[in-house]
Amino acid sequence: MKTMLKALVISPNEKTADFGCLLAIARSEACRREQTKVNPTVRAVVFVAELGVYVAVYQASDKIGDEKKNKVN
Q: Which domain holds residue 51?
A: 3-70
Task: Give pTM, 2 decimals.
Answer: 0.76
| Ordered DSSP codes for 11-23 | ---TT--SHHHHH
- For the segment 43-71, what is each residue's pLDDT rounded down to a tens digit? 999 999 999 999 999 998 776 555 555 55
* Sheet with 3-10, edge to edge strand ranges: 3-10, 53-61, 41-48
Q: How many domains does the chain have?
A: 1
With beta carbons less than 8 A apart as the criterion, state whether 54 and 22 touch: yes
Average pLDDT over residues 24-38: 92
- For the segment 10-19, what is each residue's pLDDT rounded down to a tens digit? 999 998 889 9
